[in-house]
Amino acid sequence: MSRRRGAIGLGLVVLGALIPYIGLHLPWVLPSTVNVVNSTGTLTVLALCFIFAGVALGYDVIFGYTGLLSLGPVMYFATGVYVFDITLTHWNWPLVPALLATFATSLVLAVVLGAIALRVSGIAFTMVTLAFAQAFYYLIEDNPHGLTGGDTGLALYSSRLPAFMSGAVSNTRNLYWIALGFLVVSYAVVWLVTESATGHVLVAIRENERRLEVLGVHPFRYKLAAYTLSSLVATGGGVAYILLIGTAVPSAVASVTVTLSILIMVVLGGAGTRWGAVTGAIVYVYLQQYLLKVAAEPSFASLPAFLRVPLSQPQFLLGAIFVLFVIFVPGGVAGVVVRRRLRVAAERFDAASATPSNTVQEEP
């Protein structure tokens, strides 16, 4: 089974890497106005899907595997966006030192703030992480020392960036591959952690933290490790995001709405499953962009009001889809697959139990 999953995963990665070479025309399927697979708009949307799929993977480590509801991953996503942008745009640092400074800043923030937030548990932990995220949002919105640009945003510009990483339209294909590479690396890191002994301890914390304490295990260090890993993955997503989009705006990268979106991605796909988090994020971002295209469709103007008004509100449609999904598909996409496998296994067991066994009769 593991080899089969590995082969499927490798096949999907290869297919994703080849998409920029596919010029297939797919009307009413693609989210961009140009209905071609390898168009600039489609590649940008797919790259966004990959970036947030990686961020959702990291968030699933702390939420799905460890069972901690954090509302702070957006802070580390925004750290990746702004620290990387500031070091390149304002300070004109080379690429590698800028990356090191970005991840070092995120690491220090994650360890310090995580150690503070994890002193409490339950809803108190959630509120503390939310407070940190909100404080960070208002900090960058205040534009300290003119570094962040405030509400007007901060455009990424640096002569130190390699030519293939600049935000030009001609480099969309390269930026798409960078986003895909970020997703692959994030999946590999999360897989190594969750399949290790540490991953089993994280699941045990989710199921019964007090029992671990009785057994002599200290959950705090494992929870801090999960929090830090989730934060660093979010930071990597922020770096990939600013390279792709080219502009940092607080409302787009640091608001609580972004955190709630990441939470919805994990719930849609199925918390505690790696491929579920990836699937949920891709579906959510794709629908988000596709519904914007639907709302701008001129032919819908002639529809009756009870159809035209909802179709013109993409966020309303997205929220309605999420509510219906939670009601009728509990456990997310992964939950559907797991229930189907359990049903098939039960049917096979019942069939095997009903089959009469061949017995050898002894001669009198």
pLDDT value at 56 more than 50: yes
Quick one: how many helices (H) and strands (E) in the chain? 14, 2
Q: End-to-end CA distance of the chain: give it in Å, rounded.
A: 48
Tokens 């529809």 -> residue: 303
- Average pLDDT, rounded, for the chain: 88
Supply the pLDDT for residue 278.
94
Tokens of 186: 């994030």
CATH class of 41-296: mainly alpha
pLDDT tens column, 98-152: 999 999 999 999 999 999 999 999 999 999 999 999 999 999 999 999 999 998 8
Q: Return d(Cα 282, Cα 269) in angstroms, integer.
A: 9
pTM greater than 0.85: yes
Tokens of 214: 């009785």
Q: Return d(Cα 285, Cα 262) in angstroms, integer.
A: 10
Neighbours of 160 (CB within 10 A): 15
Supply the pLDDT for residue 360.
47
Q: How far is CA 192 from the centre of its chain?
A: 17
Q: Is 205 exposed, middle or buried (0-12, 13-18, 19+ CB in 10 A)?
A: buried
Residue 333: which of 284, 240, 267, 264 has the closest Cα?
267
